[in-house]
Amino acid sequence: MLDSGKIREDFPILSKKVYGKPLVWLDNAATSQKPRSVIQSLVDYYEGYNANVHRGVHALSIESTDAFELARQKVADFIHADAAESIVWTRNTTEAINLVANTWARDNIGAGDEILLTPMEHHSNLVPWQKVAQENGARLKFIPMHEDGTLDLENIDAIFGPRTKLLAIVHVSNSMGTINPVKELAARAHAVGAMVLVDGAQSVPHMPVDVNDLDCDFLAFSGHKMLGPTGIGVLYAKRDVLEEMDPFLRGGEMVLEVWYDRATWNALPMRFEAGTPNIADAIGLGAAVDYLQALGMENVRQHEVELTGYGLKRFEELDEVVVYGPQNPDVRGGAILFNAADIHPHDLGTIMDRQGIAIRTGHHCTMPLMRTLGVAATARASFYVYNTTQEVDTLVDGLKEALEYFAHEVRGA
Amino acid sequence: MRFEELDDLYHATILEHRRHPRNSDRLEDPDITADGVNPFCGDEIHIQIALDSEGRVSRVGLQGVGCAINQATGSMLSDAIQGKTLDEVAALSRSFNDLMTGGPHSDGLGELTTLESVRQFPIRIKCALLAWSALDEGIEDYAPARSR
Ligand SMILES: Cc1ncc(COP(=O)(O)O)c(C=O)c1O
């Protein structure tokens, strides 16, 4: 297990108090906190070598371009991509998915074709495909799901067919924590000639991810969920796929030669990065990757398995609490989704907040999934490298207090 | 008691309305319908209003899905607008908005005044306003058909 006590010292925000109580940050699936090294990398850039990239012959531009491209290489190595050219900077996961929807999908998905999804997709990996389906006359199809939030693959052979053009699937569900068998499903997709896009927003930050092992064509993820800054995300795409794709946004940086009436495109990956990129935050993400690599992603994963297992066990003490998603921590990510008796998640969230505990409440950007689960909203606690079993205890004790509080108040009314 | 400051938010009146929401049966023949959704949290409110021959609110149906504040506000609203003309309802809504935003407000709010405590929890003000903004829109949509 990781030495969270020591890790915590690297995160300035974790010594903060809210309402006079120590901050217990359990909203990591929404965004993670940042270590000092990441924050410092931003300061170093702005104080030491701020300059536009790929444009100047002067010293600072050379320095910033080197740092920017080094960060790209770090990210490529982190997900075991063969080449840095496969890494396209975006703002976040959402933009990465929209890039594919507006380029590859727009040009390759036709009338009557099928886009295969799961019922647990984040709005970011659903709404862009609705647009493609509407505009190109394609159809969205959903792999069925068991009650425990795992995919029902019994009739999987009937689900993939000659019309399947794309499998767009969340690797780890941000709501229920389900880890989907992406590698197996990718093989099936490829067998029928379909492409595979993986939403790695909740997997890349939390476990070893190897794009060659998964054999996905696209992988999207966000820097801010993996100790990095906001405003920087990644689209990984296989090189030969990127080569064939039309540009997304057009303008400076993405062109090779321009005439008044036409232009040719720059090399990969710049072809997909129009305009001045988010230089500082890309460098910051590189620093975040360094931090995670030093911890070791196997260790990060193991730490979360232990915290989640411990959390699920302690939740059993709470009779009034319903937990959603797979019960076995080995097949789920570090998130616990739950509802407490008839206390609405928002009321619960406010009561926990006053104890310094930050949990997420609502639909977690998975409204259709909430409907499938038959609830309007839920509460979620999600873990990361700096969380401790003591914090899980604080969470469970806090929930007990909240249940007690509401039971008591209603009696008193 | 560990949650003293919370007692202001979850006081007896609010919790009682949450437990026993008023006028929760859906009206089948409403003159006005109003629906509100908070896209950030998924809270919902559905209001039906029947008017009498003088244009006063004669019956109200209100169904909500959401937190205690949302539920209680809706329940109180469904009582408060009974017997009022639509202009009076709109005035009441403005007054409630003023209460929530800390502005000067009229005295006619009755039980709704107890929701003033929500102001200490700014993030929850939108929970109290959802039903009212839905109602405002419902009335606005109905207004063009109204003969003045
Ligand atoms: C599974 C999943 N997909 C996509 C997203 C969207 O990420 P972002 O808001 O950084 O684009 C998130 C995060 O909220 C997520 O958890």
What ipTM score was computed for the predicted complex, to two decimals?
A: 0.76
> Which part of chain A is CATH 3.40.640.10?
38-294
Ligand 1 center–CA A244 separation, angstroms: 27
Q: B29: which 2 tokens?
A: 């023949």
Tell me which residue in A362, A401, A406 faces B41 most closely, judged by beta carbons: A362
**Ligand 1 mutation target, pool A122, A203, A206, most atoms within 8 A of CB:** A122
**pLDDT above 60: residue B1:** no
Q: In B, residues 46-105, which contact A (CB 8 Å cutoff)?
A: 65-69, 71
Q: Which of A365, A367, A375, A377 is catalytic?
A: A365
Q: Take atom 16 of ligand 1 and give the residue whose Cα is closest.
A: A174
User: What are the sequence ranges of the domains in chain B?
Assistant: 3-146
Are the C-beta atoms of residues B126 and B42 closer than 8 Å to each other? no
Q: Does position A77 have pLDDT exceeding 80, yes or no?
A: yes
Position A412 pLDDT exceeds 50: no
Do strands A378-382 and A335-340 pair parallel, antiparallel, or not at all (unpaired)? antiparallel
A216 is catalytic: no
Instruction: Write the CB contacts of A235 (distance below 8 Å, at least 6 apart in sequence).
Output: A87, A88, A90, A95, A96, A99, A100, A218, A219, A220, A272
**Mean pLDDT value of segment B51-68:** 94
Those residues with Cβ within 8 angstroms of residue A375's Cβ, 6 or more apart along the chain or in another chain: A339
CATH number of the structural domain A4-30+297-412: 3.90.1150.10
Question: Tell me, what's the pLDDT at B26?
Answer: 97
A338 has pLDDT over 60? yes
Multiple choice CATH, B3-146, 3.30.1360.120, 3.40.50.150, 3.90.1010.10, 3.40.50.2300: 3.90.1010.10
Mean pLDDT of A290-299: 98
For residues A283-312, give the mean pLDDT. Answer: 98
Q: Is the pLDDT of residue A158 over 90?
A: yes
The pick from A94, A173, A235 for probing ligand 1's pocket by mutation, whose C-beta has the most ligand atoms within 8 angstroms, reads: A94
Confidence band for B39, pLDDT divided at 50, 70 and 90: confident
Quickly count: other Cβ atoms within 10 Å of residue A3's Cβ.
12
Alpha-carbon gap, residue A68 to B143, rounded angstroms: 58
> Would you say residue A141 has pLDDT above 50?
yes
- CATH 3.90.1150.10 residue ranges in chain A? 4-30+297-412
Would you say residue B146 has pLDDT above 60? no
Q: Which of A228-232, A347-351, B103-107 shows the highest mean pLDDT?
A: A228-232
Residues in chain B closer than 8 A to A346 (CB atoms)? 41, 43, 66-67, 69, 124, 127
Residues 6+ apart with CB under 8 A from A240: none
Task: For chain A, say whether B12 makes contact (Cβ under 8 Å).
Answer: yes
pLDDT in tens, A23-53: 999 999 999 999 999 999 999 999 999 999 9
Burial A188-205 (b: 16+ CB within 10 A, else e): bbbebebbbbbbbbbbbb
Q: A346 to chain B: nearest residue by CA?
A: B67
* Å between B66 CA and nearest CA of chain A: 7
How far CA A334 is from CA of A21, A256, B141, in Å, comes to: 24, 44, 46
Mean model confidence pLDDT for chain A: 95
Better-scored residue on pLDDT, A279 or A376: A279
Tokens of A260: 């008044």
Q: What is the pLDDT of residue B2?
A: 61
Q: Is the pLDDT of residue B108 over 90?
A: no
If one counts every other C-beta atom within 10 angstroms of the C-beta of residue A154, the result is: 10
- What is the full DSSP assignment across A133-147? HHHHT-EEEE--B-T
Over residues B75-82, the mean pLDDT reads 97
Q: Scanning every residue of chain A, which has its alpha carbon at the shortest distance from the alpha carbon of B6?
A: A351
Query: What is the predicted pLDDT for the residue at B144?
Result: 61
pLDDT of residue A406: 81
End-to-end CA distance of chain A: 47
Percent of residues, chain B, with pLDDT higher than 90:
70
Test B15 with A347 for CB contact under 8 angstroms. Answer: no
CATH architecture, range A38-294? 3-Layer(aba) Sandwich (3.40)
Is the pLDDT at A127 greater than 90? The verdict is yes
To the nearest whole percent, how much of chain A has pLDDT over 70? 99
Q: In the prediction, which pLDDT does B12 show?
A: 87
